[in-house]
Amino acid sequence: MTITRRQLIAGTGAALVANGALVGPLRAASHSGAAADGSADAWAELRAGLAKAQLTPAEYPATEVWAYNGTAPGPTLRIKRGALLRQRLVNGLPEATSIHWHGLRLPNAMDGVPGLTQEAVGPGESFDYEFTVPDAGTFWYHTHNRSWEQMARGLYGPLIIDEETPPDVDRDLILTLDDWRLDQTTAAIAGGFDGLHDQAHGGRIGNLVTVNGQFDHRQPVRGGERLRLRLINTANARIFNLGLQGLEGWVVALDGQPLEKPEPAAEVFRLAPAQRIDLIVDVTAEPGEEAYLVGLERDGGFALATFEAGSEAAQARRPAPEALAPNDLPAPDLKGAREVPMLLEGGAMRGLAKAEYLGREMSGRELAEQGQVWALNGVAGMPAAPFAGVGRGETLRIPMRNDTMFPHAMHLHGHHFRQEHEDGTLGPWRDTILVDPDQVVTIVFAADNPGRWLFHCHMLGHQVAGMKTRIEVA
């Protein structure tokens, strides 16, 4: 595996530069966040507004981003499982916004989806989000209004919900992965958010990858230390192919939910948009050397994050970690499940002959004029009737058939689900799952959370160009 330390990924055209100096720290200030003390008027604020961030090497100008509390990623919110989260969104942006708490099984009215669960919060307005957090794990928050643009400008942050008894590690590190599409000379965020070409292909892929908002993210560690790494893919469309070097260990959770048994980390593992993975790894790099979280591209690897193993002697390897305590998720009733198949269609190279949009059947060309190039079960955009309406507690089985040339990261709000394999076994709990071209991925879950829940592709350009629907739980 080759490592290019200055990990610029050129999209098309010239790379930004590859000889940048270390970028100054852009750590999100840690935030006590929710009113852990339970006091009635302790509203923590997330203020969405314009800010400057040094995403690129120092010789480039800072980039104007849209940020929560002045940083992109926004502040890390941290709260104990079962506690009450109270967070006031204050909108200092020139347009309306909202916050979605990705992966949380929360009350529908707090889900942050304009037009479905609340009205968008206008400039100068605010909205109070208040709910108890049911599950411990690695989650995140992000804008859900015009998200294909607002998220690409920086409106997201980590949300960590702590276990009653956290695992025994020396460091607990959050690594928020993003890619940005920047102008090659000014480092300004490039426009063209609504470009149908991107939307009909793989989405808005950036030309600069950052971890925690940094071009060259570094962490000091010590040889032999045990780390918990919480990886969050906040990119609009990029699927990260990841590897470890000088680190060895286990996957302990996916999308916030613990695995029943920790699994040795694969040599290459994929992280689709919106997915999270929690690893517990030991630093195996020799003292004085570096360890890496490696991003793998066609032409080799590059350091996404660098861990500098100090000069101290390594500790002896420890045994594998125990599984994290499971959250209390409702088991699906496989026998009584109601099956509603989902067909994913459209996009470049296969296209849409026709689909329904805004209640009317349209030709592929008419749809494209409306910015619609994808459809779920023959409907582009939000359907008049829900994709499925179910009674509370009923189990839904959704075989998703991807009849397109692109992978899709399908995300359901308000619930976690499991993949049902052909042999009847169930995969780990997830809230976002990748469906590859010409694959069928079947998910099952007990729909126990009442409300109107969005179900969409988390490649955000696909979402706006048709790939969204909703499930209604009575």
Positions touching ligand C2O (CB under 6 A) are 100, 102, 142, 144, 274, 411, 413, 454, 456, 458
Q: CA 32, CA 83: separation in Å to the nearest integer?
A: 13
Cβ closer to ligand C2O: 274 or 324? Answer: 274
- Is residue 277 classed as helix, strand or coil in its secondary structure? strand
Cβ closer to Cu ion: 447 or 457? Answer: 457
In a 10 Å sphere around its CB, with 0-12 CB exposed, 13-18 middle and 19+ buried, how is residue 148 labelled? buried
Q: Is 133 left (phi over 0), alpha (psi -120 to 50) or beta?
A: beta
Kind of pairing, strands 99-102 and 388-390?
unpaired
Q: Which of residues 177-216 bind Cu ion (CB under 5 A)?
A: none
Buried b (16+ CB within 10 A) or exposed e, 310-321: eeeebeeeeeeb
Cβ closer to ligand C2O: 114 or 249? Answer: 114
At 286, list the tokens. Answer: 């020799």
From the list Cu ion, ligand C2O, none, pick the one residue 221 interacts with, judged by a Cβ distance below 5 to 8 Å according to partner type.
none
In contact, 470 and 116? CB cutoff 8 Å: yes
To the nearest whole angstrom, how small is the minimum distance from the Cβ of residue 100 to ligand C2O?
A: 5
From the list Cu ion, ligand C2O, none, pick the one residue 181 interacts with, judged by a Cβ distance below 5 to 8 Å according to partner type.
none
Beta bridge partners of 67: 49
Kind of pairing, strands 3-4 and 171-180?
unpaired
Cβ closer to ligand C2O: 31 or 458? Answer: 458
Tell me the residue number closest to ligand C2O, measured at CB.
102
To the nearest whole angstrom, how small is the minimum distance from the Cβ of residue 458 to Cu ion?
A: 7
From the list Cu ion, ligand C2O, none, pick the one residue 462 interacts with, judged by a Cβ distance below 5 to 8 Å according to partner type.
Cu ion
At 61, list the tokens. Answer: 């100008």
To the nearest whole angstrom, how small is the minimum distance from the Cβ of residue 38 to ligand C2O?
A: 28
At 464, list the tokens. Answer: 């706006």
Q: Which of residues 390-419 bind Cu ion (CB under 5 A)?
A: 408
To the nearest whole angstrom, how small is the minimum distance from the Cβ of residue 471 to ligand C2O?
A: 12
To the nearest whole angstrom, how small is the minimum distance from the Cβ of residue 463 to ligand C2O?
A: 7
In contact, 460 and 448? CB cutoff 8 Å: no
To the nearest whole angstrom, how small is the minimum distance from the Cβ of residue 468 to ligand C2O?
A: 8
Buried b (16+ CB within 10 A) or exposed e, 266-304: eeebbbbbbbbbbbbbbbbbeeeebbbbbbbeeeebbbb
From the list Cu ion, ligand C2O, none, pick the one residue 102 interacts with, judged by a Cβ distance below 5 to 8 Å according to partner type.
ligand C2O
Q: CA 263, CA 275: separation in Å to the nearest integer?
A: 17
CA 365 to chain centre: 32
Residue 373: phi and psi, rounded to 5, are -130, 0
Peptide bond into 73 cis (omega under 30): yes
From the list ligand C2O, Cu ion, none, pick the one residue 470 interacts with, judged by a Cβ distance below 5 to 8 Å according to partner type.
none
Cβ closer to ligand C2O: 142 or 222? Answer: 142
Site membership for Cu ion, residue 238 (CB under 5 A): no
Cβ closer to Cu ion: 395 or 432? Answer: 432
Cβ closer to ligand C2O: 146 or 413? Answer: 413
Cβ closer to Cu ion: 121 or 151? Answer: 151
From the list ligand C2O, Cu ion, none, pick the one residue 408 interacts with, judged by a Cβ distance below 5 to 8 Å according to partner type.
Cu ion
DSSP conformational letter for 97: B
Closest CA to 211 of 143, 135, 130, 294: 294
- Count helices and strands in the chain by DSSP H and E runs: 4, 35
Q: Which of residues 427-466 bind Cu ion (CB under 5 A)?
A: 457, 459, 462
From the list ligand C2O, Cu ion, none, pick the one residue 454 interacts with, judged by a Cβ distance below 5 to 8 Å according to partner type.
ligand C2O
Residue 226: phi and psi, rounded to 5, are -105, 125
Cβ closer to ligand C2O: 150 or 395? Answer: 150
To the nearest whole angstrom, how small is the minimum distance from the Cβ of residue 54 to ligand C2O?
A: 26
To the nearest whole angstrom, how small is the minimum distance from the Cβ of residue 385 to Cu ion?
A: 22
Q: Which amino acid, one-letter code, is at 107?
A: P
Q: CA 206, CA 10: separation in Å to the nearest integer?
A: 9
Cβ closer to ligand C2O: 142 or 228? Answer: 142
Cβ closer to Cu ion: 151 or 247? Answer: 151
To the nearest whole angstrom, how small is the minimum distance from the Cβ of residue 272 to ligand C2O?
A: 12
From the list ligand C2O, Cu ion, none, pick the one residue 100 interacts with, judged by a Cβ distance below 5 to 8 Å according to partner type.
ligand C2O
From the list ligand C2O, Cu ion, none, pick the one residue 104 interacts with, judged by a Cβ distance below 5 to 8 Å according to partner type.
none
Kind of pairing, strands 395-402 and 338-339?
parallel
To the nearest whole angstrom, how small is the minimum distance from the Cβ of residue 456 to Cu ion?
A: 8
Q: CA 21, CA 239: separation in Å to the nearest integer?
A: 27
Residues that bind Cu ion (CB under 5 A): 408, 457, 459, 462
